[in-house]
Every structure is written in C-alpha cells, then in structure tokens.
Structure 1
Amino acid sequence: MAFTDASLTALRVFREVAERGTLTAAATALGYTQSAVSRQIASLERAAGTPLLERRHDGVRLTPAGHVVVRRAATVIDQVDATARELAGLPDEHGTVRLGWFASAGSGLVPRALAALRRTHPAITVIGREGSTPALVRALRAGTLDLALVASAPPFRPLDSETPALELRILAERSLRLAVPDTHPLARGDFVDIADLHGRRWIAGSGDDQVMGVWPGLDERPEIAHTARDWLAKLHLVAAGCGITTVPASLTAIVPAGVRVLPVRGGPREQRRLLLARLPRPLPEPADHLAAALRAAAIETSAPL
C-alpha cells in the first residue's frame, strides 16, 4: 500500500489527533468513535509504512515521520478546501487568519486588536478560539492555527521540544497579582505580604489549569475552595467572599465591583510573559497585519509592573 493511497478522511483525522493530543479528544471533536479514529490512523500508518504516533500514558506524540505527514496534510487539506469553495462559488480565504489565545487574553487584548484590525483592514477575516497553551502549541504544529497568544512563566522554557523551534515574540511582560474581596483584611493596604498568604482559601483554575489561581511557591498545600476555568467566574467568586485568587495584571481594569487587585511583596517576583507564537516561516500578509494589531493592543493594555 503506497502513501498515495491515503484518504483525505484519514489525513483530516490525523491532523485532529495531532492537534488534540489524544485519540479520545479527537474523536469527540470529530463526532467519531475512538475505534473509528484508531482505524483511520492505522490505515494511514500502513500507507506510510512507519509509525506516525507514539502512544503514551498521557496521550500521543508525533514521531519524526508523523511531523512530516501532519505538515503535508495541512497543506493538502487547505488546498482541497479552497478548491471546494471555489467550485461552490464562495469567496476564497486568502484573507483569513486563524488565531488562538489563552483564556485571559480573550478578556481585553484580543477584542481590542480585532476591533483595530477591522478599522484598518476590514477585508481580513479572523477565526479565533481559546485554548490551553499545550493545545495551542499542538494546533500550530498541526497547521490549524496561524498565530497563537500564549503565556509563559519563569524560568521561561521553550513551549515544546519539537523542531523546528516555534518563533516567539514577547509582546509584554507583566506581574502576577492577587485578587481579594474589597472587604477582606488583606485589602486594607496597598500590597499584600507573601507571609500573609498562608492558610488562605483559594479559587483555582480547572482542567489543564488546575494550579492556576494559587500563588506560586507557597510552602504549604493550598486549600482549594472552588475551581473554575472562566476568569470572570473566579473573580465573581472572589467578590462574593468565597476565596482569593491570582490574576494577571492585564485584567485589573475589568475586575467586577467588590474585588481589589494588589501586588504581592516578598519572595521571587512573579512575572508572566505574553508571547505571540507561530511556525518559523514567512507570514502571509493578513497574518502579518493581525500580528501588528496584537502587538499594538499589548502595548495599549499593558499595566504597570
């Protein structure tokens, strides 16, 4: 069986698995059973004559051959989809950019950048979605995203170990802060001492972001009162007096009533970098315009460190 016998369906399934990181997640996204996804992957590996995925306890990882296939698959699928649109008399998608972002970036920076882009380049269409940093990195590798806004914490390691390395541009560097109810004793001053964080009830992230929301480096097992993925939900829980949480400095301007955001003194300074990530290849003009709008919005929304 030659690789030229590989079906378009198998290529689409493979790209989804590469992006999602697990067969189960890919099956859910595609509306398939996991066994159907496994059969498509098996047929593609038979056609390739080599394993394309390394099965691990935490999901799958692309083999070197898998990286070649997913890169080529993205090109083939995009070309087939463009042909289908042309035959159907639909406008082409040369002006379309696919953008991913982490949760808090969607609260201020992304809407500001998209509004500015509409004013300067109204013909550009941006298709966007939120995701965790690992999911966004996989999507870049799979070719389903052109650009991704991701966050990075010290010691600022590479986003993954694959080659070629992703091209990263630092858009901003901001301090991590603490959100507390405005009636809380910690809200009385202009900052919070790290020693006063012991024994507190925390509101943390959920899913992939389980550790988010608790101040890093505390020498105790934190008491997690509530978990929530959505930033606004976490902040409203803070306003209701249900606990405290960490918050990026960029969200200070949009916190709800009843919440005070304060810097923390003592211990290592907790900095967070806002990065724009992409594959190391020339950007199409629409993506370049979007990147410029994101850089400008990052400067406009930067809070003092």
Structure 2
Amino acid sequence: MAFSDASLTALRVFREVAERGTLTAAAAALGYTQSAVSRQIASLERAAGAPLLERRHDGVRLTSAGQIVVRRAAGVIDALDATARELAGLPGEQGTVRLGWFPTAGADLLPRALAALRRTYPAITVLSREGGTPALVRALRAGTLDLALVASAPPFRPPDTETPALAVRVMTERGLCVAVPATHPLARGDYVDVADLRGQQWIAGSGDDRVMGVWPGLDERPEIVHTARDWLAKLRLVAAGCGITTVPGSLDAVVPPEVRVLAVRGGPGEQRRVLLAHLPRPLSDAAERVAAALRDAAVSA
C-alpha cells in the first residue's frame, strides 16, 4: 500500500490526534469511537510503512515520521478545504491567520491587538481560540495554528522538547501579582509582603492548572477554597471576598473595581513571560502583521 493511497479521513483523524495528544480526546472531538480512530491511524501507518505515533501512558507522541506526515497533512487538508470553499462560491481565505492564546491573554492583550489590526489591516482575518499552553503547542506542531500566545515561567524552558525547536518571541515579561478584595486587610498598602500570604484562602485553577492562582513557593500547604478554570470567575470570586488569587500584572487594567492587584515583595521575584510561538519557518505577511500588532499591544500595556 503506497502512502498516496492514504485517505483524507485518515489524515484528518491523524492531525486531530496530533493536536489533542490522546486518541480518546481526538475521538471525542471528531464524534468517533476510539476504535474507529485507532483503525484510521493503523491504516495511515500501513500506508507510511512506519510508526507515526509513540504510545505512552500519558497519551501519544509523534515519531519522526509522524512529524513529517502531520506537517504535510495540514497543507493538504487546508488546500482541499480552500478548494471546496471556492467551488462553493465562498471567498478565499488569503490573509487568514489562525491564532491560539492562553486564557489571561484574552482579557486584555488579544482584544487590543485585534482592534488595532482591524484599523490598520482590515483585510486580514484572524481566527482565534483559547487553550492551555501544552494544547496550543501541540496545535502548532499539528499545523492547525499559525501562531500561539503561550505563558512561560522560570526557568523559562522551551515550550516543548520536540525538534526542530519552535521559534519564540518574548512579547512581555512582568512580575506575578496577587488579586485581593478591596476590603481585605492586605489591600491597605501598595504591595504585599510574601510573609503576609501565609494563612490566606486561595482561589486556584481547576484540572491540570489547579496550582495556578496560588503563590509559588509558599512554605505551607495552601488552603484552596475555590477552584475555577475561567479567570473572570476567579476575579469575581475575589471581588465577592471569597479568597485571593495570583494574576499577571497585565490584568491590572481589567479587574473589577472591587479588586486590587498588588505586587509581592520579600521573596524571590516571580516573573512571567508571554511568548509568541510558531513553527521554525518564515511567517506569511499576514502572520507577521498579526505578530507585530501583538507586540505593539504588549509593549503599550
């Protein structure tokens, strides 16, 4: 069986698996059974004559052959989809950029960048979606995103360990802060001493991001009273006096009036970077303009 005989369905399934990181997640996204996904992957591997996925306890990882296939598959699928749109009489997508972003980037940085882009380059269409940094990195590798805003914490390692390394640009670097109710005793000053964070009640993230929202390196087991995936929900809980949470300094401009965002002193600096990541190849003109708009918005924040 030659690889040219691989079906479009198998390529779509493979790209979804590469992006989602597990067969189960890909099956759920596509509305397939896991066995159907496995059959499509098996047929593609037979056509390729090599394993495309390394099965691990925490999901799957692309082999060298798999990286080649997913990169080429993305181009084939996008070209066929564009052809279908043209045949249907729909406008083409020249100037379209697919952008991923981690949750807090959508609160301020992303809207300001897109508003500026509409004023300067109204012909560029940006299709964006939110996700956690690991999922966004997988989407870049799978070719379903052109650019991704991802978060990075010390020691600022690369977004993943795959080769070739992703290209990254530092958009901004700022200190981590805490958000407290305006009526909280900690809100009386302009900053918080790290020692004053002991014994506080915390609002943390949920799922894999459960520790997010708790100050790093506390010398005690934190008391987590609420968990929430959504940052707006976290801030509204803070405003209601239900606890405190960590936030990047960039959120200061969009917090509710009942919340104060304070710097933390008295301990090691907790810096956070916003990175713009993409595959290590030249970007299209449209993607470069989106990148420039994001950089300008980050610098002006």
- 1:158-209 CA deviation, whole Å, 9 max, x = no partner? 1111111111111111110011111111112221111111121110011232
> How far is the alpha carbon of 1:257 from its aligned partner?
2.3
**1:271 has 2:271 as partner:** yes
Q: Secondary structure at the match of 1:29?
A: helix
1:152 aligns with 2:152: yes
Paired AA for residue 258 in structure 1: E
Match of 1:291 in 2: 291
Instruction: Give the TM-score taking structure 1 as reference length.
Output: 0.97
Q: Could you say which residue in structure 2 is the equivalent of 1:250?
A: 250
- Aligned pair 1:211/2:214, yes or no? no
Q: Distance in 2 between matches of 1:212 and 1:189?
A: 24
Rounded Cα–Cα distance in structure 1 between residues aligned with 2:224 and 2:24: 29
CA distance in 2 between partners of 1:147 and 1:137 (Å) = 9
Offset at 1:83?
Answer: 1.4
Secondary structure in 2 aligned to 1:226?
Answer: strand
Amino acid paired to 1:207: G
Structure 2 partner of 1:23: 23
User: Offset at 1:222?
Assistant: 1.1
Q: SS where residue 260 of structure 2 aligns? A: strand
Using the alignment, how far apart are the partners of 1:245 and 1:130 within structure 2?
A: 21
Deviation at 1:32, TM superposition (A): 1.3
Contact 1:132 1:208 (C-alpha < 8 Å) held by counterparts: no
Amino acid across the alignment from 1:162: E
Structure 2 unmatched runs, 5+: none
1:139-175 per-position Cα deviation (integer Å, ceiling 9, x unaligned):
0010000000111000000111111111111111111
Q: Give the partner amino acid of 1:248.
A: P
More moved, 270-279 vs 28-37: 28-37
Give the stretch that moved more between structures: 31-40 or 148-157.
31-40
In 1, Cα distance between equivalents of 2:201 and 2:294: 35
Structure 1 residue 54, shift from structure 2 partner: 0.9
Give the letter aligned to residue 87 of structure 2. L
Q: CA offsets per residue over residues 109-143 of structure 1, 9 Å max, x none?
A: 11111111111111111100000000000000100
Residue of structure 2 in register with 1:4 after alignment: 4
Code of the aligned partner of 2:176:
L
Amino acid at match of 1:260: R
Distance (Å, rounded) in 2 between the aligned partners of 1:89 and 1:12: 24
Identical-residue share of aligned pairs (%) = 81
- Which range moved further: 8-17 or 257-266? 257-266
The amino acid of 1:74's aligned partner reads A
- Name the residue aligned to 2:34: 34
Give the distance between the partners of 2:207 and 2:11, measured in 1 at CA.
29
Deviation at 1:228, TM superposition (A): 0.5
Report the equivalent of 1:128: 128
User: What's 2:97 paired with?
Assistant: 97
Amino acid corresponding to residue 76 of structure 1 in structure 2 = V
Q: Which residue of 2 aligns with 1:162?
A: 162
Q: Distance in 2 between matches of 1:199 and 1:245?
A: 13
Q: Does 1:112 align with 2:88?
A: no
Unaligned runs of at least 5 residues, structure 1: none
Hey, what does 1:239 align to over in structure 2? 239
CA distance in 2, matches of 1:202, 1:55: 37
> In the TM superposition, what are the counterparts of 1:48-197 in structure 2 within 5 Å?
48-197=48-197
Name the CA distance, whole Å, in 1 between partners of 2:93 and 2:109: 25
Tell me by how many angstroms 1:52 deviates: 0.8
The TM-score normalised by the length of structure 2 is 0.98
Distance in structure 1 (CA, Å) of the matches to 2:61 and 2:225: 35
Aligned partner of 1:292: which letter? A
Q: CA RMSD in A?
A: 0.9
1:178 and 1:244 in contact (8 A); partners too: yes
- Which range moved further: 208-217 or 10-19? 208-217
Q: Which runs of 4+ in 1 moved over 6 A?
A: none
